[in-house]
Amino acid sequence: MSNKEKVTFKQIFDLWLPLAGSWFLMGIETPMLTVFVARMATPEITLASWGSIVYPLSLAIEGPIIMLLAASTALATDRLAYNKLFKYMVIMSLFLSFIHILVAFTPFYYIVALNILNVPDALVEPGRIGLQIMTPWTFMIAWRRLNQGTMIKYGNSRSVAIGTLIRLCSLVIILSIGRWYTNFSGIIIGSLSVAIAVTMEALYASKAVQKILKNTLPQISNNKPINKFSFIKFYLPLAMTPLMALLIHPAGSAGMSRMPQSLSSLAAWPVVYGLIFLTRSMGFAFNEVVVSFADKPGGFSELKRFAKVLAISTMSILGIIAFTPLGGFWFSNISGLSSNLVELSSLTIMFAILMPGYQVYQSWYGGLLVHSHETRGISEAVMIYVSLALLGLYLGTHFASGPGIYWTINVFVISGLSQTFFLRYRYKRLRI
């Protein structure tokens, strides 16, 4: 598309669709994991240890490198810039992997699990084993997101979706082998399948990006070269954004561990959040689309229209699941939860109807700020989200009288709405 051609709704949809497919396939990972481990021995222990220790801690540690995709989309203007981004990626991911090892393989783990997260004793050892198996996670996520950003920037979002499909197929294969041909515990099979699957995706992304590096990416460009200091100035606010947001996952686990019906809430949480993530994933995919089209003729108005359609659609999908028998079918027949967890999960999902809608607008305003290289407002918005969430979780440990998962999901919804409105405020200030 030339710079003079106006952006159309279809062009936005065509770029968004494979990215949304990639996010959706990524989001189906946790429900797929649940389908298998819920039908293995001690499913409640496995799901609770995965949802309260392994997954949230792995996410929190990798948090600073998640925005490498957005950074690569914005900054990979030539081969020199890509090489520098690759160097920075290696340094960051090795440092974060060291932190992962420190938590998973030293006595510090017990401080985190018992004193900070306060999980039930039955979850401590399964959680430790799962976290150790997940050691490659951070580096592989960083590697693939750097390459995916470059592919998106140069119009190869289809390969991003293919990579995620490879990840999902790898996950199902490992889960199937573990479920029917081994006697390993659910936490071992689940963690191993996720670690291998993300490694396969990273290897594919590395291979797929080579064609762009050789044939499309210019050796040099007219853009100002990035250096260590300019990268830090641009990336640090972006890195703080997911880091602070993802720290809320273990904080949520710590809060629910101190609220009524802690084990049931922790067991239901990864299943409920997995379903919410599926609908929110449609909005996650919108961020890079905004960055790509915001400065094109007609791009702003079409992106705004697309955001409205996407927000209404995703909230409607979650609403239909929540308020019809589809919810019970999902949690019982597909996820394989016990009857008490089905009831707990079905009610929890009703509180989350707004989450996919406000996620679209977080991507809309956040993408516009990234495009303008004004990333400070994004980190400020997340600080508001984290502060409100931590306050709400703290209050829940003192005042929650029902299952902790009910209190927790409402805290996250209120905090997320506040974050969205602050992003809107920061963008409006930018336009003045």
Q: Alpha-carbon distance 153 to 308, whole Å?
A: 24
DSSP 56-110: HHHHHHHGGGTTHHHHHHHH--SHHHHHHHHHHHHHHHHHHHHHHHHHHHSTHHH
199: which residues sit within 8 A by CB, 6+ positions away?
136, 140
Which position has the higher pLDDT, 82 or 248? 82
- Is 115:105 a contact under the CB 8 Å cutoff? no
- Residue 373's CB: how many other CB atoms inside 10 A? 11
Largest CA-CA distance found in the chain, in angstroms, rounded: 63
Query: Would you place residue 2 in the very low, low, confident or very high pLDDT band (cuts 50, 70, 90)?
Result: very low
- Tokens describing residue 169: 């197929």
Q: Which helix (H) or strand (E) holds 207?
A: helix 186-208
Tell me: pLDDT of 4 over 70.
no
On whether the CB atoms of residues 47 and 189 are closer than 8 A, the answer is no
Those residues whose C-beta lies under 8 Å from the C-beta of residue 399, and which sit 6 or more positions away, are none
C-alpha–C-alpha distance, residues 87 and 65, integer Å: 13
Highest mean pLDDT among 193-197, 213-217, 368-372: 193-197
Query: pLDDT value at position 242?
Result: 65
Q: For residue 110, how many other CB atoms are within 10 A of its CB?
A: 11
Q: How far is residue 214's CA from residue 86's CA, in Å, rounded to a whole number?
A: 15
Residue with token string 């602070």: 244
Identify whether the C-beta of residue 314 lies closer than 8 Å to the C-beta of residue 286: no
Give me the mean pLDDT over the 6-33 stretch.
Answer: 83
Of 367, 378, 374, 373, nearest in space to 15 by CA: 367
Residue 340 pLDDT > 80, yes or no? yes
The residue with greater pLDDT, 42 or 125, is 125
In this predicted model, what pLDDT tens digit does every residue of 162-205 receive, in sequence order?
888 899 899 999 999 998 998 898 999 999 999 999 999 999 99
Q: Each residue of 382-424: pLDDT tens digit?
A: 889 989 999 999 999 999 999 999 999 999 999 999 999 999 9
% pLDDT > 70, the chain: 97
Q: What is the pLDDT of residue 382?
A: 85
Residue with the bigger pLDDT between 19 and 264: it is: 264
Choose the weakest-confidence range: 132-136, 165-169, 239-243, 284-288: 239-243
Query: Do 247 and 323 form a contact (C-beta atoms < 8 A)?
Result: no
- Residues 37-41: contacts with CB within 8 Å, 24+ apart? 37/186, 37/187, 37/189, 37/190, 38/335, 38/336, 38/337, 39/179, 39/336, 40/179, 40/185, 40/186, 40/189, 41/185, 41/186
Give the chain's end-to-end CA distance (angstroms, integer): 30
29: nearest Cα among 166, 131, 130, 178: 166
Task: Spell out where 142-300 has E strands.
Answer: none
Neighbours of 305 (CB within 10 A): 12
**CA torsion through residues 367, 229, 57, 413, sign:** negative
Distance CA 221, CA 203 (A): 28
289-333 tens-digit pLDDT:
898 888 888 889 999 999 999 999 999 999 999 999 999 999 999
CA 169 to chain centre: 19
- Which pLDDT score is estimated for 41? 80
Supply the pLDDT for residue 432.
56
pLDDT value at position 245?
64
Q: What is each CA distance from 15 to 11, 107, 253, 289, in whole angstroms?
A: 6, 46, 36, 7
What's the mean pLDDT in 4-31?
A: 82
- How do residues 21-55 score in pLDDT, each as one tens digit? 777 877 788 888 888 888 888 888 998 899 889 98
Mean pLDDT in residue range 123-144: 95
